């Protein structure tokens, strides 16, 4: 029994036989050719075959992973038809009297080098696309058509790395899981795996490849990234039990997955998820949340020894936006102070931190911290659908200062020629009674409200949420809190803004009907609550009462 | 010869998909040469990889030229495409 560890990209368990992914021999040999015209004709034939394969892959991807992720293969087809690419292959064959495979390999290197040397991450990633289409063309030239080694039954595909087209080409019915030695958990391949619902572990390391052989028994734990080769009976049994428990849970969820959040009488509501770090994305996707309603940016500051740089923040925001592939992501700006303290901020000790210098108050007193975060957010905005929200708002002038800071940052970026999205939504947290009471004045300034019920409750009821002895005085369903939410909803809608709830109350299914009646547009809850909440919404009927 | 310049407003710039569609559009005007120029570097719009290789980003200003029998129509079509997609 041997253990390895990589990164799990889709949380499920598989137990089965290893099948080592055999790629067509990509070692291309240079041979001398007399009849160059015939060689060029071979390229044309192979190209037609490759385009046909790609259009099949495109169709398959369209069904299995959706249009956004399938587009990549449409681009591959266009690249194969590119004039320069084809001219380069032709001219190498003609001028050097060499075989087609060699001409394609050289052309592939030249073009992928061109993309790899560009200073733009998006274009750099296109180098892999050039390699992918060229390898396919070479395989067509050599008459290889098989994709995986065929052992007849189900298998766990293990490879050094898999190209997106290889991943989609895997037969979903027979692939129990896949494991790669290299690659990142945010690669196209990992994203496709997630969308195909196949347990996958990425980056298991080179040592793993050395140990595996076709037919060996392997356990893949996509939750933890653990791999167990040749397990003993007890270990195998433990994992099979875990797998069964997973399957039961999944069957329940599967029923609700992909279904709309709609009441019996047709009222729709968005259900998003709250997360506190980049590693929460997997759970968001697995539970079929419609977006991220609250991304707490504090982890960036808490995990760091000093203020996180613009680049560090940009990388994290970009990752979330990319992983969510066009679904809404609402990132809350820094919310520390009160119960979350960070040494390097050098904040003075306060007797009453809940009413102290926290959240937006820190950002407005120390604009350099705020500016760095806003720059990183706007720079990342081109990678998805970003919303930015400001915590602990109590007045119109605070909101105005936040909006001014955003304008300032946008001006800077424009002057520097750095792109940002023009569709970033700006919103505020409604978590102080003040904000709720003047929500009619705040709503015209923003695109959305998000109610933070935990703080709103503690401030409205004057009950410290950290104090356990107050528990009997804290009524989370207190009419005062509910009225403030209702008032905010009314004022949001009267001014063309939308309103969500991202506090713990959002997951309380005994209030779902109340919130629906108030016209709340979005509920954002921890990922495991998404589907139970969907069930509650679907069982609600607002008519006839 | 027809000439016009255009400033990219799309956030990612001339990325793969619009580049592919632009190349396709340019090809439909056979006999008319359509070039795109960015900071002194000029490429034929029908050439997808070169076009992507220019690395045109948001905020960049590029200049198009069309020369040939269909230059009027070609320039108008390309300009319309840019406005609608980029």
Q: Concatenated DSSP letters for A216-256?
A: -EEEEETTTTEEEES--HHHHHHHHHHHHHHHHHHHHHHHH
Contacts of A418 in chain B (CB under 8 A): 59
Contacts of B20 in chain A (CB under 8 A): 74-75, 78
Decide if B47 and A74 are in contact by the 8 Å CB cutoff.
no
Decide if B59 and A414 are in contact by the 8 Å CB cutoff.
yes
Note the pLDDT of residue A90. 93
Q: Can you tell me which residue has the tokens 């037969």?
A: A171
Percent of chain A with pLDDT over 90: 52
Angle at A105 between CA A99 and CA A109, to 5 degrees: 150
Whole-angstrom distance, CA of residue A404 vs CA of residue A425:
14
B47: nearest CA in chain A? Answer: A83
Structural domain count of chain B: 1
Decide if B23 and A78 are in contact by the 8 Å CB cutoff.
yes
Please tell me whether residue A535 adopts helix, strand or coil conformation: helix
pTM score, whole prediction: 0.53
Residues counted in chain A: 545
Q: Can you tell me which residue has the tokens 């994290």?
A: A316
pLDDT in tens, A380-404: 999 999 999 999 999 999 999 999 9
Decide if B13 and A83 are in contact by the 8 Å CB cutoff.
no
Q: Could you list the active site residues of B?
A: 15
**CATH number, domain at B18?**
3.30.1340.10
A206 vs B: CB within 8 A = no
Give the number of other Cβ atoms within 10 Å of residue A101's Cβ: 24
Q: Is the pLDDT of residue A321 over 70?
A: yes
Whole-angstrom distance, CA of residue A283 vs CA of residue A34:
59
Does domain A2-22+148-240 fall under CATH 3.50.30.10? My reply is yes
Whole-angstrom distance, CA of residue A311 vs CA of residue A269:
35
Superfamily holding A36-141? PtsI, HPr-binding domain (1.10.274.10)
For residue A168, the Cα-to-chain-centroid distance in whole angstroms is 19
Whole-angstrom distance, CA of residue A316 vs CA of residue A320:
6
Contacts of B47 in chain A (CB under 8 A): 82-84
From the CA of B73, how many Å to the nearest CA of chain A? Answer: 23
Best mutation target, A107, A113, A120, to test chain B (most B CBs within 10 A): A120
Q: How many helices (H) and strands (E) does chain B have?
A: 3, 4
CA-based nearest residue to A293, from A437, A489, A495, A504: A504
Contacts of B41 in chain A (CB under 8 A): none
Q: What is the DSSP string of A329-398?
A: EEEE----BTTB--GGG-PPP-SSGGGSS-THHHHHHSHHHHHHHHHHHHHHGGGSEEEEEESS---HHH
Q: What is the DSSP letter of A30?
A: P
Q: Can you tell me which residue has the tokens 């923040």?
A: A313
ipTM of the complex: 0.79
Q: Is residue A499 within a helix (H) or strand (E), and if so which, with residue range?
A: strand A498-501
One of 3.40.50.300, 3.40.50.800, 3.20.20.60, 3.40.50.720 is the CATH number of A263-538, namely: 3.20.20.60
Query: A237-241, A319-323, A343-347, A459-463: which range is least confident on average?
Result: A343-347
Decide if A120 and B60 are in contact by the 8 Å CB cutoff.
no
Residues counted in chain B: 86
Domain boundaries, chain A: 2-22+148-240, 36-141, 263-538
Q: How many helices (H) and strands (E) does chain A have?
A: 22, 16
Contacts of A496 (CB under 8 A, 6+ apart): A443
Name which of A71, A111, A122 is nearest B49 (Cβ-Cβ).
A111
pLDDT in tens, A27-63: 788 889 889 999 999 999 999 999 999 998 888 888 8
Decide if A122 and B17 are in contact by the 8 Å CB cutoff.
no
Best mutation target, B58, B60, B62, to test chain A (most A CBs within 10 A): B58
Residue B58: which domain range? 2-85
Whole-angstrom distance, CA of residue A339 vs CA of residue A136:
56
* Greatest mean pLDDT range, A77-81, A152-156, A491-495: A491-495
**Mean pLDDT to the nearest integer, A339-352:** 79
Decide if A85 and B60 are in contact by the 8 Å CB cutoff.
no
Given a contact cutoff of 8 angstroms between Cβ atoms, the answer to whether A384 and A416 are in contact is: no
Decide if A120 and B17 are in contact by the 8 Å CB cutoff.
no
Which has the higher per-residue pLDDT, B6 or A250?
Answer: B6
CA-based nearest residue to A5, from A256, A326, A229, A266: A229
Decide if B16 and A126 are in contact by the 8 Å CB cutoff.
yes
Which residues 37-76 of B are in CB contact (within 8 Å) with A? 44, 46-50, 52-53, 55, 57-60
Cα–Cα distances (Å) from A355 to A24, A345, A475, B25, in that order, read 66, 18, 21, 61
Q: Is the pLDDT of residue A208 over 70?
A: yes
Please tell me whether residue A436 adopts helix, strand or coil conformation: helix
Q: Can you tell me which residue has the tokens 């696309």?
A: A129
Q: Could you list the active site residues of A?
A: 188, 502
Which residues 353-412 of A are in CB contact (within 8 Å) with B? 381-382
Note the pLDDT of residue A149. 46
Best mutation target, B34, B59, B62, to test chain A (most A CBs within 10 A): B59
Q: Can you tell me which residue has the tokens 């969907």?
A: A534
Given a contact cutoff of 8 angstroms between Cβ atoms, the answer to whether A429 and A388 are in contact is: no
Which has the higher per-residue pLDDT, A148 or A99?
Answer: A99
Please tell me whether residue A526 adopts helix, strand or coil conformation: strand
Note the pLDDT of residue A318. 94
B12 vs A: CB within 8 A = yes
Sequential pLDDT tens for chain B (86 residues): 888 999 988 877 887 778 888 888 888 888 889 999 988 888 999 888 888 888 888 888 999 999 988 888 899 999 999 988 88
What is the count of residue pairs from A and B with beta carbons less than 8 Å apart? 67
Give the number of other Cβ atoms within 10 Å of residue A420's Cβ: 21
Contacts of A210 (CB under 8 A, 6+ apart): none
Contacts of B69 (CB under 8 A, 6+ apart): B31, B32
Q: What is the DSSP letter of B37?
A: E
Average pLDDT of chain A is 88
Q: Tell me the CB-side half-sphere exposure of residue B36, using CA atoms within 13 A.
A: 28
A419 vs B: CB within 8 A = yes
């Amino acid at each position: 029994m041997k253990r390895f560890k990589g990164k799990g990209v889709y949380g499920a368990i598989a137990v089965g036989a290893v099948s080592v992914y055999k790629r067509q021999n990509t070692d291309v040999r240079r041979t001398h050719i007399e009849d160059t015209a015939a060689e060029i004709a071979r390229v044309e034939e192979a190209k037609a075959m490759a385009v046909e394969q790609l259009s099949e892959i495109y169709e398959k991807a369209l069904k299995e992973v959706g249009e956004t992720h399938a587009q990549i293969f449409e681009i591959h087809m266009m690249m194969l038809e590119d004039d320069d690419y084809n001219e380069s292959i032709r001219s190498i064959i003609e001028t050097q009297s060499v075989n087609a495979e060699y001409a394609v390999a050289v052309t592939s290197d030249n073009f992928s080098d061109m993309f790899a040397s560009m200073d733009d991450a998006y274009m750099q990633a296109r180098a892999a696309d050039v390699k992918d289409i060229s390898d396919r063309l070479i395989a067509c030239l050599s008459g290889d058509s098989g994709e995986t080694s065929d052992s007849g039954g189900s298998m766990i595909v293990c490879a050094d790395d898999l190209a997106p087209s290889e991943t989609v080409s895997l037969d979903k019915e027979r692939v129990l899981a896949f494991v790669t030695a290299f690659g990142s958990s945010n690669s196209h391949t990992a994203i496709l795996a997630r969308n195909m619902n196949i347990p996958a572990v990425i980056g298991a390391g080179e040592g793993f490849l050395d140990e595996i052989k076709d037919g060996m028994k392997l356990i893949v734990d996509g939750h933890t990234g653990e791999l167990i080769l040749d397990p003993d009976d007890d270990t195998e049994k433990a994992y099979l039990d875990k797998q069964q428990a997973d399957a039961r849970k999944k069957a329940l969820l599967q029923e609700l997955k992909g279904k709309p959040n709609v009441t019996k009488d047709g009222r729709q509501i968005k259900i998003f998820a709250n997360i506190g770090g980049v590693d929460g994305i997997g759970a968001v996707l697995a539970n079929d949340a419609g977006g991220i309603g609250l991304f707490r940016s504090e982890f960036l500051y808490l995990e760091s020894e000093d203020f996180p740089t613009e680049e560090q923040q940009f990388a994290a925001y970009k990752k979330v936006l990319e992983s969510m592939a066009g679904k809404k992501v609402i990132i809350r700006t820094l919310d520390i102070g009160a119960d979350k303290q960070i040494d390097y901020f050098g904040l003075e000790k306060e007797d009453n931190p809940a009413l102290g210098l926290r959240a937006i108050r820190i950002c407005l007193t120390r604009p350099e911290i705020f500016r760095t975060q806003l720059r990183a957010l706007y720079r990342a905005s081109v990678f998805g659908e970003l919303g930015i929200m400001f915590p602990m708002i109590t007045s119109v002038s605070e909101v105005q200062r936040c909006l001014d800071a955003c304008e300032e940052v946008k001006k800077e970026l424009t002057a520097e020629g750095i792109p940002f999205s023009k569709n970033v939504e700006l919103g505020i947290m409604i978590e102080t009674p003040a904000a709720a009471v003047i929500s009619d004045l705040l709503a015209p300034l923003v695109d959305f409200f998000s109610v933070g019920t935990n703080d709103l409750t503690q401030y409205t009821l004057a009950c410290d949420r950290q104090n356990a002895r107050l528990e009997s005085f804290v009524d989370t369903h207190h009419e005062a809190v509910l009225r403030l939410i209702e008032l905010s909803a009314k004022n949001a809608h009267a001014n063309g803004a939308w309103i969500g709830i991202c506090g713990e109350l959002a997951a309380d299914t005994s209030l779902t009907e109340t919130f629906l009646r108030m016209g709340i547009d979005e509920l954002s809850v921890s990922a495991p609550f998404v589907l139970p909440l969907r069930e509650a919404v679907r069982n609600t009927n607002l008519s006839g009462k | 010869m027809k000439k016009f310049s255009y400033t990219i407003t799309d956030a990612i710039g001339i990325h793969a998909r619009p580049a592919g569609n632009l190349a396709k559009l340019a090809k439909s005007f056979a006999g008319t040469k359509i070039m795109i120029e960015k900071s002194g570097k000029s490429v034929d719009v029908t050439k997808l990889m070169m076009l992507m290789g220019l690395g045109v980003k948001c905020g960049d200003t590029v200049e198009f030229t069309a020369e040939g029998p269909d230059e009027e129509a070609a320039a108008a079509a390309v300009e319309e495409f840019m406005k609608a997609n980029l």
